[in-house]
Structure 1
Amino acid sequence: MRIKKNPVLRTRRPLLPPGARSRAAHLLAAAAGQGRFDLPCCTGCGRFAWPMPELCAACLSEVALKPAPTGATVISATTAEVPADSYFRERAPWRVGLVQMDCGPQAVVHLGPDCAPGDKVALSLMLDRAGQAVLFAAKKGQAMTADPQWHEMTANPRDRRVLITDARHVAALPLACALAKAGAAAILVGVPEDWKPLPTREAFAAIPGVSLLPLDVISDRSVEDLARDIGGKVEILINTADLPRPGGLGAPAAAAEARQAMEVVAFGLMRLARVFGPAMAGRGADGDKGAVAWVNVASVFGRVHAPGLAGYGAAHAAALAYGQALRADLAQGGVRLMTVLSGPTEDDWFQTFPQPKVGGSALANAIVSGLMKGLEEVVVGDLARDLLDRLAENPKAVERELAQGRF
């Protein structure tokens, strides 16, 4: 049962773990944010290293990230009762350990419960509250959701109050179901144009903890009114606002539809960020009741620009740009921004697109899974993953293929 906070007590100011890292170490943050276990590996002799070196210590060759085995053995374990750093002191006791990785190097890691010297553990590359990559060790197969140290590095929706901004999105209903199953304390769902019929209204009402609220992200007044009511209570915000309108630059309604998409997708995010962002960042250190994550559900066509989705892709590209500014603002309070890049969904507006498309349940499960793992970027759908892989390999080829209508 969720215990209400004493309103007389002061809300603590956000503190972050030490965040200084080398430029090369940010490659590890990118891997951790995508849920990959990649470690520095010498391109010459093939030795793994930790932490991120500028060059291989053995042969002075260049170092690049490479998928690595996750196994390790605990050499020593320590419980810090009075850590020197203020962030860890507030959360003491904090367990750390020295491990011998199966792939070679030794490393100091954050340690899960009941890990003793000699134990075999599995390593995870995770993001701490400062957004930096760290190693976490736990026994293989051990459930970590109740561990406070693991909890600090994830955004588990259990006992959290969650706002979903658009009930009409194809993933909104499955997402509400998935959040309820994950143990969310309250699920608030915004309904744009509340005067219109909502076919899924009864289905939402049947989910425990769900409340439907009027919210139009194209209206400053609507967003501000809702923020005044619940802005100080939202701990996870999932922005599902979207307006898919396929069409190229030469379509008769191209300008009008691009303007509408920009209002919903890009400026809608800006309106939400302006009023909900500071409130969430300010509550990043509010204990178990603090804000932990903001999720932007975006289209992969914001990164991979298809001529047949000119206005829609431009709106999502703008939203991704705004998202980087929002991530910087939220990071001051230790609140994580997770970007979800989805391929074409089962929405009627994507009817003519080739299969496979992304179903609402698949998108919802990916969002909840990403929150529970503490990720910064989640890619959903085979088409989206394929497009991003091809874009990284040969951007000009992807541009030519999309110009010919080949996805």
Structure 2
Amino acid sequence: MIACAPGCQNFALGWLKRKVVFEDVEAACHGPSIHAEFDRHASHEDTMKIQNAIALVTGANRGLGRELVQQLLAAGAPKVYASAREVGALADLAKAHPGRVETLTLDITRADQIAAAKARCTDVNLLVNNAGINRSKGLLAADSLEHAQAEVATNYLGTLAMCRAFAPQLTGKGAIVNVLSILAKVTLPAMGSLCASKAAGLRLTEGVRAELAARGTLVVAVMTGPVDTDMSRDFAGPKSSPAEVAKAVLAGLERGDEEIYLGDMAAWINAAMAQDPKGIEREMAKYLPG
């Protein structure tokens, strides 16, 4: 795990001060409260029912991925394929839920492992692309392209490869959930390469949604602020719990939401982007790498 850059820490401290006036920004937008979640509803007549979901969750070994598996099971999903690069980390889930959790090794940057997952998981009707990485690097300040290439390989190309592999079997009442970040909408320079990869992930989500619309497949973008997982453990600001995010994702799926925002920071950025996109760009530009 790579520690949060100083610019990211400065942003967290700035956010703590800024949060006290968030309600005024939100009220100016004349929208519903989005401290918990804000949704854009799809026009699907028959939305995903968790009790009918056979799910494949990537990055299920810890944090949000593990919580999604557990909440899917608690909500009545008959089977969940829990995947991770190190399958041993999933053994306890399979033991606790015999017959309902199947584990598999899956690195979404490897075409051979994606092909093996597709061949095995032929009954999946819900794909949850949760796997992602954050190298906490700037775009020009990084020593090389290595970190940016790794983020793009996982957060964009890996997610796209999973969508391409499983889209054919999701026709009808199937769904794809892509776990992104509110930083898909705005750049925090201290984590510039992450933001670029997440922005690409949002564009791919919108494109896949358009291509699958005629097939009746729901495609969901989940855009959170910081979540209390290893990926943001050094972030000093307020964080949503994995349980809160997972609960919002499942509720949004059953409503047919295409976008789910969670957490005060996501709400603030989303509202600010609607009101003054250049203003929020200038605000974020204060938090540089190093």
Percentage of identical aligned residues? 28
Asked whether 1:328 is paired with 2:210, we answer yes
Matches within 5 A, 1:179-198: 179-194=72-87, 198=89
In structure 1, give the amino acid aligned to 2:66: L
- Superposition RMSD on alpha carbons, in Å? 2.3
Q: What is the alpha-carbon distance in structure 2 between the residues aligned to residue 354 and residue 399 of structure 1?
A: 21
The code of the aligned residue for 1:185 comes to P
Per the normalisation by structure 2, the TM-score is 0.80
Gaps of 5+ in 2: 1-29, 33-39
* 1:404 matched to 2:270: no
Among 227, 230, 239, the residue aligned to 1:348: 230
The equivalent residue for 1:313 is 195
Alpha-carbon distance between aligned partners in 2 of 1:67 and 1:395, rounded to the nearest angstrom: 17
- Equivalent residue, structure 2, for 1:280: 170
Tell me the distance in 2 between the aligned counterparts of 1:344 and 1:204: 28
Q: How does 1:5-404 map to 2 (within 5 A)?
A: 127-129=42-44, 152-194=45-87, 198=89, 201-203=91-93, 205-207=95-97, 209-230=100-121, 232-253=122-143, 255-281=145-171, 284=172, 291-404=173-286
Amino acid aligned to 1:248: G
User: How many Å separate the matches in 2 of 1:338 and 1:346?
Assistant: 21
1:166 maps to a residue whose letter is G
SS at match of 1:404: coil
- Report the CA distance between 1:126 and its aligned residue: 5.7
Q: Which structure has more strand as a fraction of its residues?
A: 1
After superposition, the Cα gap between the structure-2 partners of 1:341 and 1:216, relative to the gap in structure 1 and judged at 3 Å, is same
Shift of 1:236: 0.9
Write out per-residue CA displacement over residues 263-318 of structure 1, whole angstroms, 9 at most, x where no aligned residue.
0010001211221112223xx1xxxxxx4211110011111111111111111111
Q: Deviations over 1:385-405 (max 9, x none)?
A: 111111111111111111113
* Contact 1:280-1:330 within 8 A present in 2 as well: no
Q: Deviations over 1:161-199 (max 9, x none)?
A: 1110111352112111111111101011111244xx52x
Query: Which stretch has the larger CA shift, 203-212 or 217-226?
Result: 203-212
Secondary structure of 1:332's match? helix
Taking the aligned partners of 1:126 and 1:324, their CA distance within structure 2 comes to 14
Deviates more, 1:332-341 or 1:159-168: 159-168
Alpha-carbon distance in 2 for matches of 1:297, 1:327: 14
Instruction: Determine the C-alpha separation between the residues in 2 that align with 1:193 and 1:313.
Output: 26
Task: Name the stretch that deviates more: 355-364 or 345-354.
Answer: 345-354
Q: Which amino acid aligns with 2:148?
A: A
Indicate the structure (1 or 2) with the bigger Cα radius of gyration. 1
In structure 2, the CA distance between the partners of 1:188 and 1:313, relative to structure 1 (3 Å rule), is same
Residue 24 of structure 2: aligned partner: none
Larger relative contact order (Cα-Cα within 8 Å, sequence gap ≥ 6)? 2
Which consecutive unaligned segments of at least 5 residues does structure 1 have? 1-65, 69-124, 130-151, 285-290
TM-score (norm 1): 0.58
Does the aligned pair in 2 maintain the 1:126–1:153 contact within 8 Å? no
Cα contact 1:166–1:191 (8 A) shared by 2: yes
Assess if the C-alpha contact under 8 Å between 1:336 and 1:376 holds in 2: yes
Deviations 1:197-219 (A, max 9, x none): 52x53145313511111111000
Aligned length in residues = 252
In 1, Cα distance between the equivalents of 2:212 and 2:85?
25
Per-residue deviation, residues 1-56 of structure 1 (Å, max 9, x unmatched): xxxxxxxxxxxxxxxxxxxxxxxxxxxxxxxxxxxxxxxxxxxxxxxxxxxxxxxx
CA distance in 2, matches of 1:302, 1:126: 19
Which range moves more in the overlay, 375-384 or 252-261? 252-261
Contact 1:295-1:338 within 8 A present in 2 as well: yes
